[in-house]
Structure 1
Amino acid sequence: MSGASRARLVPRSLFARNILLLVALVAVSQVCAIAVLLHFIQTPRIERAAATFASYIVTLDTLLQTTPPEAAQSVAAHLDLRADLPAGARETAPGTRLRFYQTYQRRTFVESLREHLPAGLLVRWQGGDTADDGQQRLWIRAHLSGEPRWLALPVPEAAHDDGLVTALLLSLGLGALAFATAYVIQRHLNRPLAHLADAARLVSAGGEPGVLPTDGPTEIAQVSDAFNRMTAALKEAEATRALMLAGISHDIRTPMTKLRLAMAISAVPSTDAGFAASAEGYLDTIDTILQQFMDYAGSGAKETPVVGDLNALIANLAADFAGLGHEFALDLGAIEPFAFRPISMMRMLMNLMQNAVLYGVVGLEVRTWTDARANTVCVVIADRGKGLGAQDPEALKQPFKRGGGEGQPKGTGLGLAIVERIARLHGGTLELRAREGGGAQACIVLPLSGDAAN
């Protein structure tokens, strides 16, 4: 079996692997216990019983051989000695897989009996299904006054089962009980790991998982304690970053405001209107770039999700763009209200619509629909511009990667990175692809379940 085949057969989860290991250990222990019991306890017992039985048969055969010929007929009638062997008698005892131990006992006894008997004393087994009275028998070829005769020795029902089958069933029951107990214990041990996995997913989505309990097993408690320390450090780093960004924004925008005020009260606007307009444009660009950096740094995870109407939000944004002279064709499907972060969602949609205006110019369109099978909502913002060309869509979503060539609008390259971060914050995805018939389109897929937004 190849390594790939073994990898497919072995479960991936630690819980399933531990359960499989427990099942294997219980099964191996049961098989080993049965093998030891049969080999070291039962087999010697059966062989000793066969040796004792063989000595009785030899003694009986000796007595029969010394029987006077005139008394042979009476003895044969009394002991049911037969000249011919019954048709149902065979050399080995029959057996079935369901009653393996009984089969093992019979065959071991018959084989051991043959080993202890002289060569002239043959042994045959007759099952109850071939006997007239349903009794199982051992047929021994003895010698009555020197003439061979078959002697029937009934096998008592008590000898068929000495209680070992009951012991085996009890052992299997105890093994099942051990497996069930181990299953419950393993579930209990895996519960902190499941909580840890849920907390890690929440952290990756930008949430705050809270403090994990550390009262479980030592190893898991150490992992939970390390995770708590990590989340505390991340929270402190996030607070430091927010404070630093707020300070940078304040320290940069304060002199910018003073510069605007100085330009407004100076004589520059009246003497050189072109320079004043250019300076105002540069200040606006700096302010826009600074705001984009703030938007990218602010994950939006602390914003509380609320149930809202996504189509209404899109319609309001389209109306705002229409007031600026950019008409978006709307094809809004039925979407039931679901939980999302309204400010982050508005920022994401606004960035994509603004990209469509800047890079597409014409053929602006927004489409929405619900995928009932996947329980998701899809939003497509498209245009009829130059499209993606040879650019890698995944690379465009990286920070500071800008699309377009000569003549295209300049920016910081953070717009799509902000969009993807917000989409992931909601448990969704962003995909950029070429639009059929020319242009480009951005497709956002968001889950309708409220868990992704929490």
Structure 2
Amino acid sequence: MASDGWIDPRRNRSARSPFALSLFWRTFILLALLLGGGIFAWLQTFRAMEFEPRTVQAAQQIASLVNLSRTALRYADAINRVTVVKAMTDQESVRILPREPGDKYEPYEVDRFTRAIGAELRSRLGPETVVANSVNGASGLWVGFNIENDPYWMQADPQRLQPVAGKTYFVWMAIALIATLLGSAAIAGLINRPLKQLSFAASRIRDGEFDSRLDEHTATREIREVNMGFNRMARELAKVEEDRAVMLAGISHDLRTPLARLRLEAEMSVDDDEAKRNMAADIDQLDAIIDKFMDYARPGEVKLVPVHLSGVVDREIAAFRDTSQIRIESRVAIDTKVMADEIELGRVLANLFENARRYGRSTDTGIARVLISYARTGPWVILSVRDHGQGVAPEKLKQLTTPFFRGDAARTAATGAGLGLAIVEKAVQRMGGSFEVANAPDGGLVAHIRLKKAP
């Protein structure tokens, strides 16, 4: 069953802050970005600083190999030269071949690293030095040089000149990033822990539990001062709450005693029946106002248990028997159960029915017609109480639950404390639910009570 005019408070919260992050995640992300940026900058600096020494070292090795090969071949006779070439091929993976005019080769210098090596080799071996990536289709590191005006190719292992592989950088960077994320999570947790404890203690204070205490001996001076201030506030609030309970109990007792005497004196000393009835009504009204004040100031702790919603509704409907003023129809299923305090829930419904009886009467009949419906939405049950009166101006709807606020002349013709809907909202919040008031599309006021569904 749908409920007209219901506005989900969760939807409003998400609309206000669709991308809200907790302090932990905000701190974690900022630390991770800072440290990750530092790692990337360090990597780029390392590569820049490592580039020139590596090229010089690589070119030095190849140049030394070429010079050794040139010297060994220059001073070896024809027979020993073959032996030298064979030994170099077997032991050092270096081949020496004559360079023919028709040899086809691909240039070695194709990027910044290889161009730097080529320039370094020419500076060490002479400007006529040729560096190739392949000769006649044979891949390798080929260096062309001269021995007594005879051109030769030397084929060396290309791995000698390979820079640090990108895979190596990736592995080490991944390890650094994982360490960064773990460190950021640990630091964010340490920063967030005292604030999380403060938030939890504040939520307990909000629920009326004033015995929450925070650590006043923590190592961080600012957190220690905040905790000490919070503990002082909690002690003061506990004392204020205790004084308030004692004061309200005293006020209730001290006011009801003279009211009882006034009722007795009116019954005994006033002869006019109409005046007697009016005086009794005034005394009843004062007594009801005292009850309203006591209900509004009631402590916030309640015990939630599974409650049959229809049973509580039917019981409160039975208290409004005068059909000349109010007629209530319930459409709540008998198997509907909610997590609530039965007495508090009954008080909520009684206040809503009384509010409808006073301010929600139809202009044509003068009778308040009230319809009670419900809806199940996920883990919640929404109970709707609707009258068919004149409703309230839209700009005043949010103020209806403000203590002592009166909406307009149409809805405040009767006298009262102005606490009915404020009591309802406070009681529903104590039971872990929410309360919403809206104008019905076709006239009248509708109140929505959202409570957790009982298992």
In the alignment, is the contact (CA less than 8 A) between 2:396 and 2:407 conserved in 1?
A: no
In the alignment, is the contact (CA less than 8 A) between 2:370 and 2:387 conserved in 1?
A: yes
**Alignment match of 1:368 (pick from 356, 364, 374):** 374
**Alignment match of 1:44 (pick from 50, 53, 66):** 53
CA gap 1:181/1:61 in 2 versus in 1, 3 angstroms: same
Name the stretch that deviates more: 397-406 or 441-450. 441-450
Equivalent AA in structure 1 for residue 212 of structure 2: G
In the alignment, is the contact (CA less than 8 A) between 1:10 and 1:17 conserved in 2?
A: no
SS at match of 2:368: coil
Which protein, 1 or 2, shows the higher relative CO under an 8 Å CA cutoff with sep ≥ 6?
2
User: 1-side partners of 2:211 and 2:376: how far apart?
Assistant: 30
In the alignment, is the contact (CA less than 8 A) between 1:402 and 1:412 conserved in 2?
A: no
1:134-213, aligned counterparts within 5 Å? 137-143=140-146, 145-146=148-149, 149=151, 151-155=153-157, 157=159, 160=162, 169=171, 172-173=174-175, 175-187=177-189, 189-208=191-210, 210-213=212-215
Q: Give the drift of 1:330.
A: 0.8
SS at match of 1:250: helix
Q: How many residues align?
A: 421
CA gap 1:93/1:11 in 2 versus in 1, 3 angstroms: farther
Name the stretch that deviates more: 220-229 or 233-242. 220-229
Q: Give the drift of 1:185.
A: 5.0
User: 2-side partners of 1:399 and 1:195: how far apart?
Assistant: 32
CA gap 1:120/1:61 in 2 versus in 1, 3 angstroms: farther
Q: Give the drift of 1:184.
A: 3.8
Deviations 1:348-372 (A, max 9, x none): 1111111112222332211122112
User: 2-side partners of 1:238 and 1:190: how far apart?
Assistant: 31
Q: State the match for 1:254 in structure 2.
A: 257
Name the stretch that deviates more: 20-29 or 439-448. 20-29
**1:305 equivalenced with 2:304 (yes/no):** yes
1:94-113, aligned counterparts within 5 Å? 108-113=116-121
Deviations 1:71-130 (A, max 9, x none): x99999983122258656323257xxxxxxxxx865643443345443322322349xx9
User: 1-side partners of 2:381 and 2:103: how far apart?
Assistant: 83
In the alignment, is the contact (CA less than 8 A) between 2:380 and 2:451 conserved in 1?
A: yes
CA gap 1:47/1:209 in 2 versus in 1, 3 angstroms: farther
**1:120 equivalenced with 2:108 (yes/no):** no
CA gap 1:421/1:335 in 2 versus in 1, 3 angstroms: farther
Equivalent AA in structure 1 for residue 23 of structure 2: L
Q: State the match for 1:16 in structure 2.
A: 25
Q: State the match for 2:286 in structure 1.
A: 286
User: 2-side partners of 1:440 and 1:248: how far apart?
Assistant: 34
**Alignment match of 2:386 (pick from 382, 388, 391):** 382
In the alignment, is the contact (CA less than 8 A) between 2:437 and 2:445 conserved in 1?
A: yes
In the alignment, is the contact (CA less than 8 A) between 2:292 and 2:419 conserved in 1?
A: yes
Q: State the match for 1:357 in structure 2.
A: 357
Equivalent AA in structure 2 for residue 155 of structure 1: D
**Alignment match of 2:44 (pick from 35, 49, 59):** 35
Q: State the match for 1:100 in structure 2.
A: none
User: 2-side partners of 1:348 and 1:73: how far apart?
Assistant: 109
User: What is the TM-score when the length of structure 2 is the normalising length?
Assistant: 0.77
User: What is the TM-score when the length of structure 1 is the normalising length?
Assistant: 0.77
Q: State the match for 1:97 in structure 2.
A: none
Q: State the match for 2:13 in structure 1.
A: none
Q: State the match for 1:223 in structure 2.
A: 226
Q: Give the drift of 1:156.
A: 6.0
Q: Give the drift of 1:334.
A: 6.2
Q: State the match for 1:245 in structure 2.
A: 248
Equivalent AA in structure 2 for residue 47 of structure 1: V
User: 1-side partners of 2:238 and 2:169: how far apart?
Assistant: 61
**1:80 equivalenced with 2:79 (yes/no):** no
Q: State the match for 2:332 in structure 1.
A: 332
User: 2-side partners of 1:9 and 1:306: how far apart?
Assistant: 34
Deviations 1:36-84 (A, max 9, x none): 433445532431442464466468679989999xxx9999998312225
Equivalent AA in structure 2 for residue 124 of structure 1: A
CA gap 1:161/1:391 in 2 versus in 1, 3 angstroms: closer
Q: Give the drift of 1:16.
A: 1.4
CA gap 1:427/1:35 in 2 versus in 1, 3 angstroms: same
Equivalent AA in structure 2 for residue 321 of structure 1: F
User: 2-side partners of 1:159 and 1:10: how far apart?
Assistant: 51
SS at match of 1:211: coil
In the alignment, is the contact (CA less than 8 A) between 1:64 and 1:143 conserved in 2?
A: no
User: 2-side partners of 1:140 and 1:448: how far apart?
Assistant: 83
User: 2-side partners of 1:260 and 1:382: how far apart?
Assistant: 36
SS at match of 2:331: strand
User: 2-side partners of 1:442 and 1:274: how far apart?
Assistant: 37
CA gap 1:332/1:162 in 2 versus in 1, 3 angstroms: closer
In the alignment, is the contact (CA less than 8 A) between 2:210 and 2:235 conserved in 1?
A: no
User: 2-side partners of 1:394 and 1:334: how far apart?
Assistant: 32
In the alignment, is the contact (CA less than 8 A) between 2:352 and 2:424 conserved in 1?
A: yes
Equivalent AA in structure 2 for residue 153 of structure 1: Q
Name the stretch that deviates more: 406-415 or 391-400. 406-415
Q: Give the drift of 1:427.
A: 3.0
1:429-444, aligned counterparts within 5 Å? 429-444=434-449
**1:420 equivalenced with 2:420 (yes/no):** no
User: 1-side partners of 2:164 and 2:278: how far apart?
Assistant: 106
User: 2-side partners of 1:390 and 1:48: how far apart?
Assistant: 82
Q: Give the drift of 1:191.
A: 3.9
Q: State the match for 1:101 in structure 2.
A: none
Name the stretch that deviates more: 287-296 or 399-408. 399-408
Equivalent AA in structure 1 for residue 244 of structure 2: R
In the alignment, is the contact (CA less than 8 A) between 1:205 and 1:424 conserved in 2?
A: no
In the alignment, is the contact (CA less than 8 A) between 2:339 and 2:452 conserved in 1?
A: no
In the alignment, is the contact (CA less than 8 A) between 2:390 and 2:443 conserved in 1?
A: yes
